[in-house]
């Protein structure tokens, strides 16, 4: 547990964030604050990059992006974001990635994206490492018919083993990187929450006077 906290505390110094979309309008929730574009997407409990996705069941996860005018810099400050659940006055503040990693005191639940089919995306597969179990209530169960060894994986047609990143490392790398950035910057924020997702009727992300409706 202590190792995870130390690892992510160090990792936060080299956090890379995620890859921003073209502009704030491409995010489900967006606003303009002064000359700064802000985009956000509620990913429930999941975070990750590419084909590696993980679940942190004790946190609500929001990917945020900041878009300064072309050629300008922007200062990313996670502490300027707060989350309002069901209109309550008590707002949630994001937790440091080291604290979130410390909560992963059980085998990581990896969420692997299914194969793309045409223009759509195939079913999401949750792998808990335990046969016959689902990663959290309501999630689809594991596959009962494993893919035969001689059939290539549609998500990795080359068959070459890809480097796997540990969840605590990926969490630190993809968190919103604090500090000055030239151009757009994006990353995940984590808000401690142990309630049921189904009980959330409204969800607002507040930033510098702007309200972004996530739900």
The CATH number of residue 16's host domain is 2.60.40
Query: 123 and 37 in one domain?
Result: no
Question: Which band of pLDDT confidence, cut at 50, 70 and 90, is reported for residue 109?
Answer: very low
52 and 123 housed in the same domain: no
Instruction: Answer whether 42's CB lies under 8 Å from 28's CB.
Output: yes
Q: Which domain holds residue 134?
A: 117-144
State in Å, rounded, how far the first CA of the chain is from the last one: 33
d(C-alpha 168, C-alpha 68), whole Å = 30
Q: Are 100 and 138 found together in one domain? A: no
Give a yes or no: residue 151 inside a domain.
no
89 in the same domain as 16: yes
State whether 96 and 32 are in the same domain: yes
Q: Is residue 164 part of a domain?
A: no
pLDDT in the model for residue 162: 57
Stretch 76-85: mean pLDDT: 97
Mean pLDDT of 88-108: 82
Of 125, 144, 163, the position where a domain reaches its end is 144
Q: Are both 90 and 124 inside the same structural domain?
A: no
In the chain, how many domains are there? Answer: 2
> How distant, in Å, are the alpha carbons of 15, 41, 143, 165, 189 from that of 28?
24, 6, 31, 28, 16
Residues 30 and 129 in one domain: no
Cβ–Cβ under 8 Å, residues 206 and 191: no
* Residues 130 and 65 reside in one and the same domain: no
Structure tokens at 71: 């050629």
pLDDT at 63: 98
In a domain, 109, yes or no: no
192 and 95 within one domain: yes
Percent of the chain predicted with pLDDT > 70: 66
CA dihedral 156, 60, 191, 67 (to 10 degrees): 60
Average pLDDT over residues 121-135: 38
- Whether 12 and 72 map to the same domain: the answer is yes
| Domain co-membership, 123 together with 49 | no
pLDDT at 1: 40
Backbone angles phi, psi at 7, to 5 degrees: -60, -45
Confidence of residue 54 (pLDDT cuts 50, 70, 90): very high
Domain annotation covers residue 166: no
Q: At residue 158, does pLDDT exceed 70?
A: no
Say if 6 falls within a structural domain: yes
**More confident site: 162 or 63:** 63
pTM exceeding the 0.85 threshold for the entire prediction: no
* DSSP state for residue 158 in the 8-state scheme: T
Asked, for residue 150, whether it belongs to a domain, the answer is no
Crossing angle of helices 167-174 and 2-11, in 10° steps, is: 30
Q: Does 108 score more than 50 pLDDT? A: no
Q: Is residue 135 part of a domain?
A: yes
């Amino acid at each position: 547990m202590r190792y995870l906290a130390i690892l992510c505390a160090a990792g936060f110094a080299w956090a890379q964030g995620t890859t921003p979309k073209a502009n704030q309008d491409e995010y489900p929730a967006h606003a303009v604050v002064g000359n700064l574009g802000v985009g956000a997407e509620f990913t429930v409990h999941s975070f990750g990059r590419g084909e590696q996705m993980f679940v942190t069941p004790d946190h609500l996860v929001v990917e945020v992006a900041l878009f300064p005018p072309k050629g300008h810099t922007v200062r990313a400050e996670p502490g300027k974001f707060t989350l309002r659940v069901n209109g309550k006055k008590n707002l949630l503040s994001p937790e440091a990635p080291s604290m979130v990693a410390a909560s992963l005191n059980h085998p990581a639940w990896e969420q692997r994206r299914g194969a793309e089919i045409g223009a759509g995306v195939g079913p999401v597969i949750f792998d808990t490492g335990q046969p016959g179990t689902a990663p959290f209530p309501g999630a689809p169960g594991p596959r009962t018919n494993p893919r035969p060894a001689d059939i290539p994986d549609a998500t990795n047609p080359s068959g070459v083993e890809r480097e796997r990143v540990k969840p605590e490392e990926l969490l630190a790398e993809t968190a919103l990187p604090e500090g000055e950035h030239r151009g757009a910057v994006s990353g995940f924020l984590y808000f401690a929450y142990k309630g049921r997702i189904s009980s959330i009727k409204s969800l607002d992300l507040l930033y510098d006077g702007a309200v972004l409706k996530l739900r």
